[in-house]
Structure 1
Amino acid sequence: MPIRKLTQGLTFAGALPFYLALLPVLDHDVRLKAFLTYGAIIAAFMAGTLWGLVQQISSDALKQRLLLVSNGVALAIWGSLLIESTGLALALQLLGFLVLLAEERGLARQGSEPQWYWIMRRRITALVSAAYVLAFLFLA
């Protein structure tokens, strides 16, 4: 299987647990915990992908910004798991995904990522963002 197709398949399959956590088959608190912990894992994973990209960029200023943003997002996402307010935790995680998307946009504009990857990132972030809106409605 070509890497592009595998990447796309795994990426979109990765959105499924967000939506599965919204299904009212389990207790509300279990679903909320599942949603937030999965969101934290995926956001931290996405923040970590910036580290690999940094090695391919020539601008030291951009490298520094990406490293700081990726670490900042990862720490904020971790903090979201410690917050008592469900709405604030969900909002912080959603913001993390959007910040990461903004950084990826800059990389796509510079040609550091293939165009198909940027299109996929926009689409998956839209799907994940929609799941967060639903989580605000049904879990917060």
Structure 2
Amino acid sequence: MTPSFRPLTQALTYAGALPFFLLLPPTLPVLAPVDALHGFLTYGAVIAAFMAGTLWGIVQGRDTAAIGHLIASNVLALAAWGTLLIEPGRGALAIQLAIFVALLASDYRLATAHLEKPWYWRLRTRVTALVCIAYGAKIILV
């Protein structure tokens, strides 16, 4: 990524966290037919799978094999999908929250080995913290 993409990357990353907060209330007047819990869980599964895919891509670009990260990217993406197959509620939310923490931990292990863009790591940490706060609030509100 060239330095010129940094502001766009930051804006898109923060914008990606916004739906988690928009879906916190139990109902949304603007999206009346949408169940907020279902919307929250499906959006979380999509974003978790996307982040697992980026983990896969990062590992593919490395010269050294990182088998654990390859396996983790697949397991975490499948776990995100699995949360859509169980009863929607606190359990599914807690699993997704754990997935986001695990993705951050995997990224951290990769980042410490190859810290090419420290600004991205700070951004990634901040946004994951925001998402975790949204999950905590949603768990309380359910």
Q: Same fold (TM over 0.5)?
A: yes
What is the alpha-carbon root mean square deviation over aligned residues?
1.9
2:139 to 108, 114, 136: 136
Deviations 1:77-128 (A, max 9, x none): 1111111151110011011100000011111111254111110111000000
* Residue in structure 1 matched with residue 16 of structure 2 by the alignment: 14
1:104 to 94, 102, 107: 107
State the secondary structure of the residue aligned to 1:14: helix
Q: Tell whether 2:51 aligns with 1:79.
A: no
* Residue in structure 2 matched with residue 34 of structure 1 by the alignment: 39
Large movers: runs of 4+ above 3 Å: none
Count matched residues. 137
Instruction: Tell me: CA distance 1:91–1:37, structure 2 relative to 1, closer, same or farther (3 Å).
Output: same
User: TM-score with structure 2 length normalisation?
Assistant: 0.89
Instruction: Tell me: CA distance 1:39–1:52, structure 2 relative to 1, closer, same or farther (3 Å).
Output: same
Query: Which sections of structure 1, spanning at least 5 residues, go unmatched?
Result: none
Q: Tell whether 2:117 aligns with 1:114.
A: yes
Query: Which sections of structure 2, spanning at least 5 residues, go unmatched?
Result: none
Shift of 1:26: 2.8
Distance in 2 (CA, whole Å) between partners of 1:113 and 1:104 is: 13
* Residue in structure 2 matched with residue 126 of structure 1 by the alignment: 129
Shift of 1:21: 0.6
> How do 1:63-74 residues align onto structure 2 when only pairs under 5 Å count?
63-74=66-77
Q: Quick one: which amino acid aligns to residue 11 of structure 1?
A: T
> How do 1:21-60 residues align onto structure 2 when only pairs under 5 Å count?
21-26=23-28, 30-60=35-65
Distance in 1 (CA, whole Å) between partners of 2:122 and 2:95 is: 24
Instruction: Tell me: CA distance 1:52–1:126, structure 2 relative to 1, closer, same or farther (3 Å).
Output: same
Identity of aligned residues (%): 52
User: TM-score with structure 1 length normalisation?
Assistant: 0.90
